[in-house]
Amino acid sequence: MSDTSSRIAIVTGASGGIGKAVAERLAADGLSVLVHYSGNAATAAETVAAITAAGGKATAFGGDVADEDAMGRLFQHAIDTFGGVDVVVNSAGIMPLAPVVDTDLDTFDRIQRTNVRGTFVVSQLAARTVRPGGAIINFSTSIMKLQMPTYGAYAMSKGAVEGLTLILAREMRGKDITVNAVAPGPTATPLFFEGKPQEVIDHIAGLNPMQRLGTPQDIAEVTAFLAGPGRWVNGQVLYTNGGAA
């Protein structure tokens, strides 16, 4: 595990926000990284450029995480390009917010398709592909403990991700592959800022004992730990939120 130069990571949703920070952090540890994107090839290319400019190895590949054929091609691209898969990070997700009473069911279905089916599709492929000594890392949310209004559909999707994570960890018995979830608190990403007035952002930041929002780099550090040295952490949800919950 000390030699990361031959290890390969797939990071979904890596064109921006937390996924981008995770991809760059894993590359800094010496992993070759497949940068997945859904709709923005340009920002994925920027992530790849940042990694290669820092001396790392990266390639970009697009596709819908909920489409098993597209994700099959993504995994094959990682194998063809780098030789295998050792780490899979499921950071792709969407977070439309509304009170339960006002949530449009088409929006609800879209959240579940990306966050639940997408995580399941990628985790299933990871379980079939990741080499011994590897790691599967899913993304939940600290909203599961904070229980803030308007996050009902999103929290429901992440509850499913936690259930999948804990069970898959047990199903990987004997394969030397860890399965964990990272549960960020409020983090300074475009996904978090979208639709929030500044006074709401300031209020949420002020609730944290650390008196700030998390940064994508804060979350990337924990993810890199699980991807590398944290081999005795398995079947866990790590709440990564500065003490907010």
Q: Is 195 exposed, middle or buried (0-12, 13-18, 19+ CB in 10 A)?
A: exposed
**42 vs 25: CA distance, rounded Å:** 20
Concatenated DSSP letters for 142-202? Answer: THHHH--TT-HHHHHHHHHHHHHHHHHHHHTTTS--EEEEEEE-SBSSHHHHTT--HHHHH
240 and 185 in contact (C-beta within 8 Å)?
A: yes
188's tokens = 């300074």
Nearest-angstrom CA–CA distance, 151 and 141: 10
239 a catalytic residue: no
- Report d(CA 239, CA 244) in Å as an integer: 9
Q: How far apart are CA 89 and CA 224, in angstroms?
A: 10
Helix orientation angle between 152-171 and 105-112, rounded to the nearest 10 degrees: 20
Task: Give the residue numbers marked as catalytic.
Answer: 154
